[in-house]
Amino acid sequence: MILFFADVWHLWLRHMRATIRLPIWIAVTLIQPVIWLTLFGQLFRRVVELPGFETTTYIQFLTPGVLIMTAMFGGAWSGMGLIDDLHHNVVDRMLATPVHRAAVIAARVLHAAFTVVVQSFIVLALALALGAGWPSVGGTIGVLVAAALVTAGFSAMSTGVALLARREETMIAVINFFGLPLAFLSATFMSAQLIPQWMQSVSKANPVNWAVSAARHAVLGTDTSAVWINSALLLVFTLLMVMFATASFRVYRRST
């Protein structure tokens, strides 16, 4: 068990170092939330005048949404690094050592979750600058937990897809196909009460929507039980995806 945590830690450090050495990644990480927040914030500024919004300004409403969307994509793209490792024989080299198999996946998922937590602080700071205020301590923890869980879930899913598909093209197609629809089939940009009935029904089964609900209620401090329930759902989703990734890993190892 101690060896497992040591493996996760050492592999996590490897991912962290690679990330820090990628200036373009840091730049995009900083700029993307700015674009989402300012563009969407301006574009839809006046929708809060409609009845059904929990907030007085749209930026306040939008912040948790953008934060979760960033988290979802952060997790979803994390499988790309694994494909690179597969193609460069790094995974095989590791599998020929006693390193814990599960640690190879866990380190990647935790790395994605950690970077998203860092990104979340950036988004929150930006929102603060744009006048959305800063959530309470409990709210901050709640929103970070929701972001970390949704990232972990999507990162595990992405890892599983990477191990099965082993091609960048497939990965890009899958993310393009599912990413934005999942974001729009939720209350990310629009109050749940204002989206069509069928979309609301679909969104009830959408992990992104669970995360947005948890994050928004946490930030606004409106409904603590909704934060708990949605976080629990997210946890189940994440565990299922980890099981999927583990099974995919077994498929990969049997295929060679």
Question: Shortest approach of another protein to residue 110 CB, angstroms?
Answer: 16
CA separation, residue 154 to residues 35, 52, 238 (Å): 23, 30, 8
49-57, 88-96, 123-131, 152-160 -> range binding another protein (CB under 8 A): 88-96
Question: Shortest approach of another protein to residue 127 CB, angstroms?
Answer: 32
- State the Cα angle at 226 between 223 and 231, rounded to 5°: 135
Question: Shortest approach of another protein to residue 227 CB, angstroms?
Answer: 38
Nearer to another protein, 84 or 223 (CB): 84
Looking up tokens 């800063």 gives 134
CA separation, residue 231 to residues 7, 144, 188, 238 (Å): 28, 11, 16, 10
- SS3 at position 66: helix
* From candidates 7, 156, 189, 238, binder to another protein by CB under 8 A: 7
Site track for another protein across 92-121, x = CB under 8 A: xxxxxxxx----------------------
21 makes contact with another protein (CB under 8 A): yes
Nearer to another protein, 94 or 236 (CB): 94
Question: Shortest approach of another protein to residue 250 CB, angstroms?
Answer: 12
- Number of helices (H), then strands (E), in the chain: 12, 0
Find out whether 149 and 112 touch, Cβ atoms under 8 Å.
no
In sequence order, the 6+-apart residues with CB closer than 8 A to the CB of 228 are: none
- SS3 at position 27: helix
Nearer to another protein, 5 or 121 (CB): 5
Find out whether 70 and 123 touch, Cβ atoms under 8 Å.
yes
* From candidates 5, 17, 35, 121, binder to another protein by CB under 8 A: 17
Question: Shortest approach of another protein to residue 114 CB, angstroms?
Answer: 18
Number of neighbours of residue 214 by Cβ within 10 angstroms: 29
123 makes contact with another protein (CB under 8 A): no
- SS3 at position 221: coil
Nearer to another protein, 94 or 122 (CB): 94
Nearer to another protein, 98 or 196 (CB): 98
The binding site for another protein (CB under 8 A) comprises 3, 6-7, 10-11, 13-14, 17-18, 21-22, 85, 88-90, 92-99, 253-256
